[in-house]
Amino acid sequence: MQKARLVVLAALVVGVVTLAALPAGAHVSISPSSAPKGGFEVLSFNVPNEAPDANTIKLEVQIPTKYPIASVSTQPMAGWTVEVQKTTLSKPVATDDGDVTEAVSRITWTATAGGLNPGEFDLFTISAGPLPTKPNKLTFKAIQTYSNGDVVNWIQQTVKGAPEPEHPAPTLTLTAAGSDHH
Amino acid sequence: MQKARLVVLAALVVGVVTLAALPAGAHVSISPSSAPKGGFEVLSFNVPNEAPDANTIKLEVQIPTKYPIASVSTQPMAGWTVEVQKTTLSKPVATDDGDVTEAVSRITWTATAGGLNPGEFDLFTISAGPLPTKPNKLTFKAIQTYSNGDVVNWIQQTVKGAPEPEHPAPTLTLTAAGSDHH
């Protein structure tokens, strides 16, 4: 009995260790993965098409507004249209162009030429700044829609020390202002 | 006679020194040139068109499979089609999406709109990961085909301490896992 328990425990431990050692699958991620607080940055959402027989036809990214980013713009992308949604801020952000009272809260890219095929990835790129100075991380939830109707919600929080979730939300680490993050 | 010899010798010496001082020609290279072991990375093959009167119409890149990369995808590229060849692995790679039994071994980009003109370059971009954890370098042999039939094999090994070969294979340096490689 005691021995059987030990065997089960050992098996569990081995299982956990094996899980932790497994390489992660391809995820929707942000490149670069870190940027200085207060700076302007070009950020690319790296989106893999993981379906063997469907195309990625839509990507929606939620821009965090708890610590709003006054200026967010999108890079034109052949084969995709982009729709930008703004939200009114409860607390305006002071900038050198005056108070900013609304901020981009959602960006939706929609394919006009078939989207991403199996085996492809693409970069969906924005320019954003000034990045907030307070939090150490910004989470950009992303929703990926496939041509077969499948929707993948990349919205799970990554908890330090815990195993990586299956569909982590893309996260940008904010480094000390002026630090060389590259 | 003696003087003439000296002049010839001097000319030779100057010639050799000049050659040695010449900047290395543009090569097919990988950007970034280094990336952390175990990570996912967007890698661009930077391909210069070095012919004065011919276009680059095809690029073939061999993905190393001795230490296989479970996930390799390609970025769509206007004016080029891409063909991906896979190979069955003798030893499967464990990932959190299950065992991977085959890996991308060759990617061929073929121009559909004329390719690269003289004086142009372009980036042929893939997303790849997890990068292997064992070797300190990965070599991606590349074969560049011109519209006049010329083929340049970028397959030579770079040996530390030795002069750079004429057509080095693009090489990615793998850094310690989690290190800031930028």
> What digits encode the pLDDT tens for the residues B110-119?
999 999 999 9
Q: For chain B, say whether A52 makes contact (Cβ under 8 Å).
A: no
Residue A3, both tokens = 């021995």
Gap between the Cα atoms of A149 and A79, Å rounded: 20
Compute the half-sphere exposure of residue B101: CA atoms within 13 Å on the CB side of its CA.
0
Whether A32 and B182 lie within 8 Å, measured CB to CB: yes
Residue B180, both tokens = 């800031």
ipTM of the complex: 0.77
pLDDT band with cut points at 50, 70 and 90 for residue B12? low
Average pLDDT, chain B: 87
What three-state secondary structure class fits B180? coil
Q: State residue A148's pLDDT score.
A: 97
Q: For chain B, say whether A14 makes contact (Cβ under 8 Å).
A: no
Q: State residue A24's pLDDT score.
A: 52
Q: State residue A123's pLDDT score.
A: 97
Lowest mean pLDDT among A113-117, A159-163, B6-10, B11-15: B11-15
Q: How far is A26 from chain B (nearest CA, A)?
A: 7
- Cβ–Cβ < 8 Å for A104, A68: no
Whether B96 and A29 lie within 8 Å, measured CB to CB: no
pLDDT band with cut points at 50, 70 and 90 for residue B160? confident
Q: State residue B20's pLDDT score.
A: 44
Lowest mean pLDDT among A116-130, B6-20, B119-133, B165-179: B6-20
The torsion angles phi and psi of A16, rounded to 5 degrees, stand at -65, -45
- Provide mean pLDDT across the span B7-24: 49
Gap between the Cα atoms of A79 and A59, Å rounded: 13
Q: State residue B105's pLDDT score.
A: 97
Calculate what percentage of chain B has a pLDDT beyond 90: 74
Contacts with A, B 147-176, CB within 8 Å: none
Q: What is the pLDDT of residues A110-138, one digit of tens each?
A: 999 999 999 999 999 999 999 999 999 99
Instruction: Count other Cβ atoms within 10 Å, centred on residue A24.
Output: 20
The CA-CA-CA angle for residues A99, A103, A104, to 5°, reads 155
Q: Which residue of A has its CA nearest to B103?
A: A119
Q: How far is B20 from chain A (nearest CA, A)?
A: 33
Q: State residue A15's pLDDT score.
A: 46
Whether A25 and B95 lie within 8 Å, measured CB to CB: yes
The CA-CA-CA angle for residues A47, A49, A53, to 5°, reads 165
Gap between the Cα atoms of A37 and A130, Å rounded: 8
Q: State residue B21's pLDDT score.
A: 40
What three-state secondary structure class fits B60? strand
Whether B96 and A23 lie within 8 Å, measured CB to CB: yes
Compute the half-sphere exposure of residue B24: CA atoms within 13 Å on the CB side of its CA.
10
Q: For chain A, say whether B84 makes contact (Cβ under 8 Å).
A: yes
- Provide mean pLDDT across the span B81-88: 96
Q: What is the pLDDT of residues B19-45, one digit of tens each?
A: 444 445 689 999 999 999 999 999 999
**pLDDT string in tens for chain A (182-residue length):** 455 565 555 554 444 444 444 445 689 999 999 999 999 999 999 999 999 999 999 999 999 999 999 999 999 999 999 999 999 998 888 888 888 899 999 999 999 999 999 999 999 999 999 999 999 999 999 999 999 999 999 999 988 899 889 999 999 999 998 765 44
Contacts with B, A 92-131, CB within 8 Å: 116-117, 119-123
Whether B38 and A23 lie within 8 Å, measured CB to CB: yes
What three-state secondary structure class fits B77? coil
Q: How far is A105 from chain B (nearest CA, A)?
A: 27
pLDDT band with cut points at 50, 70 and 90 for residue B48? very high
What three-state secondary structure class fits A13? helix
Mean pLDDT highest for which of A7-21, A84-98, B61-75, B165-179?
A: B61-75
Q: Which residues of B39-66 are buried (b: 16+ CB within 10 A; e: fewer)?
A: bbbbbebbbbbbbeebbbbbbbbbbbbe
What three-state secondary structure class fits A20? helix
